[in-house]
């Protein structure tokens, strides 16, 4: 049997096993040997991209930033091979209870809720937006972080859900969440109809990508990408996997949607230029 192409993924929910087992069978049906290793957090996964354990990783945007920095510091390169259609041009929203608070200026002196410390969409990028408007945590407002499952980079959305609950309980004055979660919480009734308003919205940003490790076998990576992009929503064996992974089609990878996150990583001193972790209270 040929040596399988090894991929890393983070086990942020039980469905992850179902997803990648299904992908393994899909690739095998096309005579391509593929296997995966599950990691408990993205930091370990990114580090594994540099010790030969995995040829590519299904990375969060924050994991991409770290991998790119670690590679550059070593004189190496990583590449964004592919991403979901649902990874492109996302936004996060700042939600308040319907009432007198309608501008960012009015949040001065108030308490704003954020997701986990390592969540791009509910912590780092929102901090960047507020900073661009001249508002700094600890000076202009109190930041209350809802840390859930550190190291998962906000994939589990638990911190955003907890922030939404705290908002409705009157414990905080506003809460950040990705737009799709705002809609989901509204459908669930967690945020009752008419009870909340959107005060601010980030510029569009991108989410996850398949990150190719330095020195990965080029021919296998090319075939993996070819088969991945060929996955069709109309294929009854493939559609359940795409549904579980939250996409309709795979797209070629791009890195143009990470600028705000890169800026936030520097401003918040989360990683240094070599990808070393600087955030002192980050537990994973």
**Going from the N-terminus, what domains does the chain have, and what CATH number goes with each?**
5-87+206-258 (3.40.190.10), 92-201 (3.40.190.10)
How many Å apart are CA 143 and CA 130, to the nearest integer? 11
Q: Which token pair is 238?
A: 């493939």
Q: Is the pLDDT score of 99 beyond 80?
A: yes
CB atoms within 10 A of CB 256: 9
Q: Which token pair is 170?
A: 């009157």
Q: Which token pair is 185?
A: 């919480």
Q: How far does Cα 219 stand from its chain's mean position?
A: 28
Average pLDDT, the chain: 96
Residues facing 196 on adjacent strands: 97
What are the tens digits of pLDDT across the range 233-262?
999 999 999 999 999 999 999 999 999 999
How much is the pLDDT for 77?
Answer: 97
Can you tell me the mean pLDDT for 66-71? 98
How many Å apart are CA 53 and CA 62, to the nearest integer? 20
Q: How far does Cα 184 stand from its chain's mean position?
A: 17
DSSP H/E element including 97: strand 92-97
Q: Is the pLDDT score of 92 beyond 80?
A: yes
What are the tens digits of pLDDT across the range 111-143?
999 999 999 999 999 999 999 999 999 999 999
How much is the pLDDT for 1?
Answer: 59
How many Å apart are CA 93 and CA 89, to the nearest integer? 13
- Rounded percentage of the chain residues whose pLDDT exceeds 70: 100
Can you tell me the mean pLDDT for 206-215? 98
Q: How far is CA 19 from CA 15, 209, 245, in A?
A: 6, 16, 7
Q: Which token pair is 102?
A: 């309608």
How much is the pLDDT for 13?
Answer: 87
Nearest to 91 by CA among 196, 176, 168, 195: 176
Q: Is the pLDDT score of 2 beyond 90?
A: no
How much is the pLDDT for 100?
Answer: 86
What are the tens digits of pLDDT across the range 148-194?
888 999 887 889 999 999 999 999 999 999 999 999 999 999 999 89
Q: Is the pLDDT score of 88 beyond 80?
A: yes
Can you tell me the mean pLDDT for 69-87? 98
């Amino acid at each position: 049997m040929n040596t399988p192409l090894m991929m890393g993924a983070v086990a942020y929910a039980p469905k992850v096993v179902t997803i990648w087992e299904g992908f393994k069978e899909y690739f095998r049906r096309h005579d391509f040997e593929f296997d995966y290793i599950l990691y408990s957090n993205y930091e370990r996964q990114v580090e594994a991209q540099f010790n030969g354990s995995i040829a590519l990783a299904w990375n969060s945007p924050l994991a991409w930033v770290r991998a790119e920095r670690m590679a550059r510091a070593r004189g190496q390169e990583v590449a964004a091979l592919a991403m979901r259609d649902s990874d492109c041009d996302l936004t996060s929203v700042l939600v308040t209870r319907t009432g007198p608070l309608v501008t960012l200026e009015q949040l001065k002196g108030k308490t704003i809720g954020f997701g986990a410390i390592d969540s791009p969409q509910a912590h780092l990028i929102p901090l960047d937006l507020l900073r661009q408007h001249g508002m700094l945590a600890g000076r202009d407002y109190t930041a209350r972080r809802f840390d859930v499952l550190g190291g998962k980079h906000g994939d589990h959305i638990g911190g955003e859900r907890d922030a939404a609950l705290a908002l409705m309980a009157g414990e905080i004055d506003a809460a950040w969440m990705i737009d799709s979660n705002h809609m989901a919480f509204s459908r669930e009734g967690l945020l009752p109809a008419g009870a909340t308003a959107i005060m601010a919205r980030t510029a569009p940003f991108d989410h996850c990508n398949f990150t190719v490790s330095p020195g990965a076998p080029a021919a296998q990576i090319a075939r993996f990408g070819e088969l991945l992009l060929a996955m069709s929503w109309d294929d009854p064996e493939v559609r359940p996997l795409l549904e579980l992974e939250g996409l309709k089609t795979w797209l070629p990878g791009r890195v143009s949607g990470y600028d705000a996150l890169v800026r936030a990583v520097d401003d918040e001193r989360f990683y240094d230029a070599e990808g070393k972790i600087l955030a002192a209270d980050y537990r994973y």
